[in-house]
Structure 1
Amino acid sequence: MQRTPLSTYRLQLHAGFTFAQAGAIADYIRDLGVSHVYSSPYLQAGKGSMHGYDVVDHHRVNTELGGEAGHSEFSKRLGELRMGQVLDIVPNHMSVDRQNRMWWDVLENGPSSRFATFFDIDWNSAEEKLRDKVLMPVLGDQYGRILSNGDIKIVREGTGFLVQYGEQAFPVAPRSLSTLLSRAAEMAPSDTLNFLAVSFARLPAPDSTERSVQLGRHRDKQVLLGLLTRLCGEEEAVCRSIDAALDELNGNIDALDEFLNAQNFRLAFWRTSDQELGYRRFFDVNSLIGLRMEREYVFEETHELILYWLDKGVLDGVRIDHPDGLRDPKQYLDRLRARAPHAWIVAEKILEPGEWLRSDWPVQGTSGYDYMNQCNALLVHPDGMRKLTAIYSEFARDSDSFHDIAFEKKTKISKETLASDVNRLASLFVAICESNRNSRDYTRAQIRRAIRNVAACFGIYRTYVVPATPVNEEDVTHINEAVEEAKRRKPDIDGGLFDFMQDVLTLKVTGDKESEFVARFQQFTSPVMAKGVEDTAFYCFNRLTSLNEVGGDPSLNGIAISDFHSYNAHIQATFPTTMITLSTHDTKRGDDVRARLAVLSEVPARWAAVLKRWSRMNAKYRSGKYPDANTEYFLYQTLIGAWPIDLERLQAYMQKAMRESKRITSWLDNDKEYEDALNSFMERILQDAAFTGELQSFVDRINRDGRINSLTQTLLKCTSPGVPDLYQGGELWDHSLVDPDNRRPVDYDHRRSMLAELSSRNWADAAKYAVEHFEEGSPKLWVITQALKLRLERPTSFDASGTYTPIEVQGPKADHVIAYQRSGDVIAIAPRFPHLLTDNWSGTSVQLPAGRWTDRLSGQVHEGGASIRISTLLDEFPVALLVKDSDKTVGQDTRRTEPQQVVA
């Protein structure tokens, strides 16, 4: 039986950090107290992949990481160290890469491909030109211009034929070879080649989807290609004639155009993807195509190796990437759970404020963004946040609310990069309206607008309505709220259309087309949220950017300690072994960046003063109107949070952030004037000693408070209900920004030596040493390793059988202390709002339960049953981890007792 992790350590594997390198640091990860390595996807991905989410083959281990042999050695090493392994897996999509044999087969054979039903492709496009074809938006200009320039060629590789455009290649449809081979047969001359040409023409049309026809067509095609290969091998003149026919074809634009029109794909200008793309993507990424994972044979084909590893104990669990992209997430999770009944399964489900993971999902929980946002909100001061609202509005000269900005950006995304998805939904809904006399007069344009606006008004990623089953009341509420909000925002759209769409989405109106619309609409709202809010609005509304994280609401003014306790109590009662985290490969800012920025909510007046002063100081470096005030406000927060940061890192990050915001520049339409002005501005202010001196002085003033925030959230993460995850390198202070900044190489030799230094000391000496080496990151490393080792020592204190009990804090500074007990023998105590603790706790205290309590961080011993001052508890170290002395074996390691048996 597989075992639930006690903690995980996320590793990003790629060609520059392979299984061998991961295995070499596994003992260091073990010595931190981690029970499981948590790896990024490592099935075969596209060449040069830095993340592994672009899978091309589910049956192979990524060769760039070391392949099967490297994976076997890595798994064996973890087994020797009595560590487990969790893998990130990608059920929603695959890469449209030549290495993807299933996709290649689809491009070659169209709807008749054996794998056509594996992918989420609309073969019945409303556009006649795209019927039974896949749009490939890869051209750098209009098709006609590219063709006229001679940039598209038909080439031969042995007896295989390709459409070549630059470095990209696409397979030629077998039937289309007929005219080419016929011409070559005339040149040879060759009766056999002519026979093959006629035989290729007789292959069944590519629009046949009957399985028997598909298999017969594939068999006949393979036989014909085999005969062609044999013929070319025996008669060199045949190959020469084929090459001559190819040269002739490539030299005749009209003939080449006709040949290309006979393919099962349509090459097009890359901008056409916004409106006409015929397949479901991962968000707006054209190179990642959606899988029809709801089909059992697709599940079996793509999960064979993963299920084998889970069954053999190579893996203890999996993290499911983007389940909301699936047609029916619960069906998928039910199927996975049935095949892996003992696996630890967590889903990357993004929960919005007030939303909980569905209780009927057969998983251990989420990947932890919901917990991260609880910590973000816990550490900002509510009064300060309200003041920051006015400061930001005045400086940026923008009083738009976050929710108005989010609605605008979600609508814009739906009009532009996700317009092809809207068009497919609109075609479905037009057909639905046509069959209903009360709705048949709604126009396609009206329907498109209604779809965009209802989707933009959803406050969550998606609902989970399944046709022919009762609709969950939670889903009904979300749908009704979205429709009512759409009506309020767009009164010019007929309310009856909104009402009819509401009836379809809540299954009051049913049918085959209605069911298809419901499924696809639910798959659509999640990319609208992700691209419109997280990748756009979060870079536009910049009041305090530490709150701009996945699943968060940057307009909130923080939460009370009681709210945090309520959240933890709910998790302990529902998903006690969920993953909890503070940083991931996808977070906008590292946890230490956010911890430092949170201090701004404690010093709003000082922040307002330096903001105005810096803006005046740097006015001479602006180029005309750029950078604008909102960009400048964002930039100064970035500098504070990530300082020290060099120009190269800063410029790369700001370019990404500003293009994501799509306010002035974007990835699709770069505004060179703006970007050049911003780059020049950053270069000049970083060369200005007066400015950087003031920046350094300001950071110095809040830095220790930011460090205290970091230690607080780190201790909370390691002791709250759930399984704490540590992102690679984050055991020391880490001021990384969004990827690729947070994927820079980690100096493990340095971390190993620091851990050895701390581990060689007793608790009191180690605490003293850590405080003395504060800026090196020793305190964070000490908190992590002590808390994680305690979880190994006393697993039942933190597991599903344990308890979570808030501890009452008394005194004038009670609102500055988070204190709770785990299962009667562990207590966590941590401060918040450290900058405002100007009078050293003012007699604030807690009542420790009876018993003898040892602080695993400072070494102090406290007798319970009496009131103890917070100043006493936190005198030697900024946070406290108290453990009740008992007969339990100290240092007992509950990891595996025998190495894994690994077969890759």
Structure 2
Amino acid sequence: MRTPASTYRLQITENFDLDDAAAQIEHLRTLGIDWLYLSPVLRATKGSTHGYDVVDPTLVDPDRGGKEAFDRLCRAAHDAGMGVLVDVVPNHQGVAEPRQNPWWWDLLRQGQASSHADVFDVDWEAFDGKLMIPVLGDDTDDDGATAAGQSEKALADLTVRVEDGEPVLAYWDNVYPLAEGTYTLDTAGQIADSPAEVHDRQHYRLVNWRTGDRGLNYRRFFTVTTLAGVRVENPDALRESHTEIKRWFDEELVDGLRIDHPDGLRDPGRYFTDLQELTGGAYVLIEKILEPGEKLPHEWLETGATAGTTGYDALGTVDRLFVDPAGAYPLTTLDAALRQGSTAQGTQEGNWPRMIHGTKRAVVDGALHAEVERLAREAETEPALSAFSHGRLVDALSEVLANFEVYRTYLPEGVEHLESALRRASAARPDVAEVIEALGPILGVGTAESDLTPVARRFQQTSGMVMAKGVEDAAFYRYSRLTSLTEVGGDPSVFAVEPDQAHAEFERRQREEPLAMTTLSTHDTKRSESVRARISVLAEAAKDWASTVSYVEKQAAAAGIGPLADRTLVNLVLQAMLGAWPIERDRAVEYALKAAREAQTATAWVDGSAEFEEELTRFVDVVLTEPSVRGAFEGFVRRVEQAGYVNALGQKLVQLTMPGVPDVYQGSEQWAPALVDPDNRRPVDHAQIAQRLAELDKRRDDPAVPRVHSVPALDDTGDAKLLLASRALRLRRDHADLFTDYTPLTATGSAAEHLFAFDRGGAVSVATRLPLGLARDGGWGDTVLELPAGAWVDELTGGRFEGTVRVSGLLDLLPVALLRRA
């Protein structure tokens, strides 16, 4: 199995296609990258900017360059000595425009008789054997009231016609196939039957879009009704959906795969095994979110079925290493004060465990209720549950899901998480404790893997959806204490990680999963690593931040705005603006509105409050345009920005050199203050980065340039970070023998707590942490670090060191050092 020294994630789109990616190979090779890491490239919904809505897995997307461009890219990468890692999506397919997906189109046309009926995860026994398609609009009366369900008014908007020689049913721009024998043609070749009659004869039923959350009978990706679940546990479905992927390995084009959302699969472990056979044992990473203390099933790592996760667990550890634990109390106090002054529903709860129980319960009672209904329908077939009504089963299953502490189990692995959820659910709801107790064996307690019920398997597929929607997409936008911690895969109630804890975790990673990915930014992170690095400084300036928030609120009130119904949202939005400052008005407003809609306290994506959103927009405008407010806010930014740059370099050095395979998300090798998507998927000027890197190399390697002038300043050009990234990546790629071990190094002296250092077996990383506190205490003073035996040279500054060194001399030009044995 070929494995990477590092990867570089490129977002392949219609506007940055496979040929554009190939044009970056020379630059990325110069940067030090070992493998290209491509976003999904199979044919996706027309106009898709992300590629996760695959409509034809047998083709490379023509809009992204097509098969020929893909093959050219892979061969060019190999010619340059680089590998290729591709993101693939086994869990679901895009069905937003049915005609674009030939398998879905055939399923709609033929129903259960379709040759692709076993590809999609449909409950055909529900709803009279028809597939529910939630697409119809609301009936709206003069008072604005809406009626859900199969709206007669909406059905009146149906038309039938012959299009491109094929009879179809149309609802505005949505087109659906007609089953053979369900219509008659007149002498002119047009459909003679009424649209309503034709609709009633189909294998599908068009229903109001609102009923998707409660009356859907096909598995979705989370709550996205336009992404239909695929059953790769079916051998035929696996083979058909992986024909193009298999070609990549048969023709030696691709070296590894990143598996999107494996928690949605019926049997992830079996899929990984099947994938190893299909790829010939290739390098495989999985997009798996681990909660604090949770580990991947040991068998997956032991057998090589996967090398590990895509790195959110590493991200959580690295970020918290650069957070001052002393900030927990004052930031918690600020959060509590804001909650007390909030009036919007869902804003009062500041206890993280209680908060996420509430948000998860809201999800299973609302957006994911259709999934719980399907679980209950399957549970009703179990004799041990026959005495319980459907409603009690739904309630009990919902409570267990709301009490689940991880994304899913892989039974019998992780059964302790299921048992814990059952106990907590019974304690919280004694009125359904009898049902919950009976559910235990049905959901997999005390059951061998081969004896798991269909309910147990589907429950495992469902629990991750609840965590994602209830925690990532709701609670993360309500918990504003320190928002650099509300990141995918993290638990914000874990405020900081001490150096000895980080060392222990990195030593474990070296032993157990040395080839797992590490990352700090992805296409899914809520805030880029640059933004989080600056926000984390707030833990060192908590009292000043509280004063700043209070001042901004008061000035907004003087301008006739607020207090906002959700004052914690004020804190969250201001932290985002701080992290991304200076920020354009459109970016700030777009982020604020998305955050508010995700929080679902004062507004929402569906039936939101236009009044609140207008007030929130005006609040953002006050910060950006009112001179006194902008001045005060910019003043605070200036006080923390240098510390933010120090954090950015420290966390990047640790991530690039710690055990694991470091990934660089496009553009994050420099200062890249991006917010949640789509902000973090903006185009990257690779040519400009390449030019800056060339200039840095020339200056750094020119013996005529004094050492003091050989490194760039810490500023928003990001040149210091670019220097660091290039030197670390090159060292990892070209000198792998220096990264075979992990030994913590400990400083001594008055500022020892501000240093984090380790030896990888010939490469030593030294990073500054908690820089504001370091400055307040007078700097490094008498702090020293004893280096391993031998002479060492700093790859960043050219400085030479040996023995016990004063940290003030080691870090005289940059707050980090990357030492290589001379």
Give 1:318-333 correspondences, 5 Å limit. Answer: 318-333=257-272
**1:385 to 2:328 alignment:** yes
Once the two structures are superposed, residues 220-244 of structure 1 have per-residue CA deviations (whole angstroms, 9 ceiling, x without a partner) of: xxxxxxxxxxxxxxxxxxxx1x22x
Q: Could you tell me how far 1:375 is from its partner in structure 2?
A: 1.1
**1:827 to 2:764 alignment:** yes
Give 1:100-111 correspondences, 5 Å limit. Answer: 100-111=101-112
Distance in 1 between residues matched to 2:478 and 2:282, nearest whole Å: 40
Q: Which moved more, 1:49-58 or 1:149-158?
A: 149-158
Q: 2:394 aligns with which of 448, 467, 470?
A: 448
| Residue of structure 2 in register with 1:4 after alignment | 3
Work out whether residues 650 and 767 of structure 2, in 8 Å CA contact, stay in contact via their aligned partners in 1: yes
Identity, % of aligned positions: 37
Change (3 A) 1:809 1:144: closer
| Residue of structure 2 in register with 1:249 after alignment | 193
Give 1:820-899 correspondences, 5 Å limit. Answer: 820-823=758-761, 825-838=762-775, 839-864=778-803, 867-885=804-822
Change (3 A) 1:149 1:345: closer
Q: Which moved more, 1:145-154 or 1:582-591?
A: 145-154
Once the two structures are superposed, residues 725-758 of structure 1 have per-residue CA deviations (whole angstroms, 9 ceiling, x without a partner) of: 0011111111100000011111222211110101
| Residue of structure 1 in register with 2:14 after alignment | 15
Q: Secondary structure in 2 aligned to 1:138?
A: strand
Distance in 1 between residues matched to 2:403 and 2:156, nearest whole Å: 47
Residue type of the partner of 2:391?
Answer: A
Change (3 A) 1:61 1:514: closer
Distance in 2 between residues matched to 1:497 and 1:115, nearest whole Å: 37
| Residue of structure 2 in register with 1:898 after alignment | none
Distance in 2 between residues matched to 1:517 and 1:95, nearest whole Å: 26
**1:373 to 2:316 alignment:** yes
| Residue of structure 2 in register with 1:222 after alignment | none
Distance in 1 between residues matched to 2:360 and 2:349, nearest whole Å: 19
Work out whether residues 566 and 602 of structure 2, in 8 Å CA contact, stay in contact via their aligned partners in 1: no
Change (3 A) 1:777 1:512: closer
Change (3 A) 1:510 1:403: same
| Residue of structure 1 in register with 2:366 after alignment | 416
Work out whether residues 150 and 206 of structure 2, in 8 Å CA contact, stay in contact via their aligned partners in 1: no
| Residue of structure 2 in register with 1:115 after alignment | 116
Q: Could you tell me how far 1:339 is from its partner in structure 2?
A: 2.4
| Residue of structure 1 in register with 2:133 after alignment | 136
Q: Secondary structure in 2 aligned to 1:760?
A: helix
| Residue of structure 1 in register with 2:345 after alignment | none
Residue type of the partner of 2:64?
Answer: L
Q: 2:632 aligns with which of 682, 694, 706?
A: 694
Work out whether residues 711 and 813 of structure 2, in 8 Å CA contact, stay in contact via their aligned partners in 1: no
Q: Could you tell me how far 1:817 is from its partner in structure 2?
A: 1.1
Once the two structures are superposed, residues 648-672 of structure 1 have per-residue CA deviations (whole angstroms, 9 ceiling, x without a partner) of: 1111111111111111211112111
Work out whether residues 266 and 458 of structure 2, in 8 Å CA contact, stay in contact via their aligned partners in 1: yes
Distance in 1 between residues matched to 2:46 and 2:638, nearest whole Å: 44
Residue type of the partner of 1:274?
Answer: D
Q: Could you tell me how far 1:705 is from its partner in structure 2?
A: 0.3
Distance in 2 between residues matched to 1:576 and 1:148, nearest whole Å: 56
Q: Could you tell me how far 1:619 is from its partner in structure 2?
A: 1.2
**1:165 to 2:171 alignment:** yes
Q: Secondary structure in 1 aligned to 2:547?
A: helix
Distance in 2 between residues matched to 1:112 and 1:658, nearest whole Å: 45
Residue type of the partner of 1:171?
Answer: P
**1:631 to 2:557 alignment:** no
Distance in 1 between residues matched to 2:500 and 2:448, nearest whole Å: 44
Q: Could you tell me how far 1:768 is from its partner in structure 2?
A: 3.2
Once the two structures are superposed, residues 656-701 of structure 1 have per-residue CA deviations (whole angstroms, 9 ceiling, x without a partner) of: 1111111121111211111111112222331101111111111111
Work out whether residues 621 and 681 of structure 1, in 8 Å CA contact, stay in contact via their aligned partners in 2: no
Q: Could you tell me how far 1:148 is from its partner in structure 2?
A: 6.6
Once the two structures are superposed, residues 556-610 of structure 1 have per-residue CA deviations (whole angstroms, 9 ceiling, x without a partner) of: 1211111111111111111101110000000000001000000000111111222
**1:463 to 2:409 alignment:** yes
Distance in 2 between residues matched to 1:73 and 1:331, nearest whole Å: 32
Once the two structures are superposed, residues 608-657 of structure 1 have per-residue CA deviations (whole angstroms, 9 ceiling, x without a partner) of: 22222222122123445535312212121121111111111111111111
**TM-score (norm: length of structure 1):** 0.86
Q: Could you tell me how far 1:268 is from its partner in structure 2?
A: 0.7
Distance in 1 between residues matched to 2:449 and 2:178, nearest whole Å: 39
Once the two structures are superposed, residues 272-310 of structure 1 have per-residue CA deviations (whole angstroms, 9 ceiling, x without a partner) of: 101110000111100001111111121111112212212
Work out whether residues 821 and 827 of structure 1, in 8 Å CA contact, stay in contact via their aligned partners in 2: yes
Task: Specify which structure has the bigger relative contact order, considering alpha-carbon pairs within 8 angstroms and separated by 6 or more residues.
Answer: 1
| Residue of structure 2 in register with 1:61 after alignment | 60
Distance in 2 between residues matched to 1:61 and 1:589, nearest whole Å: 30
Q: Secondary structure in 2 aligned to 1:117?
A: coil
**1:645 to 2:651 alignment:** no
Q: Secondary structure in 2 aligned to 1:583?
A: coil
Once the two structures are superposed, residues 515-564 of structure 1 have per-residue CA deviations (whole angstroms, 9 ceiling, x without a partner) of: 10000000000000000000000001110100001111111121111111
Distance in 1 between residues matched to 2:700 and 2:488, nearest whole Å: 39
Distance in 2 between residues matched to 1:513 and 1:667, nearest whole Å: 41
| Residue of structure 2 in register with 1:213 after alignment | none
Q: Secondary structure in 2 aligned to 1:10?
A: strand
Q: Secondary structure in 1 aligned to 2:659?
A: coil
Residue type of the partner of 2:275?
Answer: L
**1:394 to 2:394 alignment:** no
Instruction: Give the CA RMSD over aligned residues.
Output: 1.8
Work out whether residues 119 and 291 of structure 1, in 8 Å CA contact, stay in contact via their aligned partners in 2: yes
Distance in 1 between residues matched to 2:751 and 2:713, nearest whole Å: 27
| Residue of structure 1 in register with 2:487 after alignment | 549
Change (3 A) 1:819 1:136: same
Q: Could you tell me how far 1:792 is from its partner in structure 2?
A: 1.8
Q: Could you tell me how far 1:424 is from its partner in structure 2?
A: 0.7
**1:307 to 2:246 alignment:** yes
| Residue of structure 2 in register with 1:775 after alignment | 716
**TM-score (norm: length of structure 2):** 0.94
| Residue of structure 2 in register with 1:29 after alignment | 28
| Residue of structure 1 in register with 2:614 after alignment | 676
Give 1:156-555 correspondences, 5 Å limit. Answer: 156-177=162-183, 180-181=184-185, 184=186, 188=187, 240=188, 242-243=189-190, 246=191, 248-250=192-194, 256-361=195-300, 362-397=305-340, 398=348, 400-432=350-382, 435-436=383-384, 439-465=385-411, 471-472=412-413, 475-491=414-430, 493-508=431-446, 515-555=453-493
Change (3 A) 1:146 1:25: farther
Give 1:731-770 correspondences, 5 Å limit. Answer: 731-762=669-700, 765=705, 768-770=709-711
Distance in 2 between residues matched to 1:601 and 1:315, nearest whole Å: 44
Distance in 1 between residues matched to 2:165 and 2:259, nearest whole Å: 41
Q: Which moved more, 1:339-348 or 1:83-92?
A: 339-348
Change (3 A) 1:124 1:767: farther
**1:602 to 2:557 alignment:** no
Q: Secondary structure in 2 aligned to 1:775?
A: coil
Aligned length: 795
| Residue of structure 1 in register with 2:144 after alignment | none
Q: Secondary structure in 2 aligned to 1:699?
A: helix
Residue type of the partner of 1:845?
Answer: V
Distance in 2 between residues matched to 1:583 and 1:485, nearest whole Å: 34
Distance in 1 between residues matched to 2:117 and 2:299, nearest whole Å: 32
Distance in 2 between residues matched to 1:440 and 1:513, nearest whole Å: 20
Q: Could you tell me how far 1:313 is from its partner in structure 2?
A: 2.3
Change (3 A) 1:508 1:80: closer
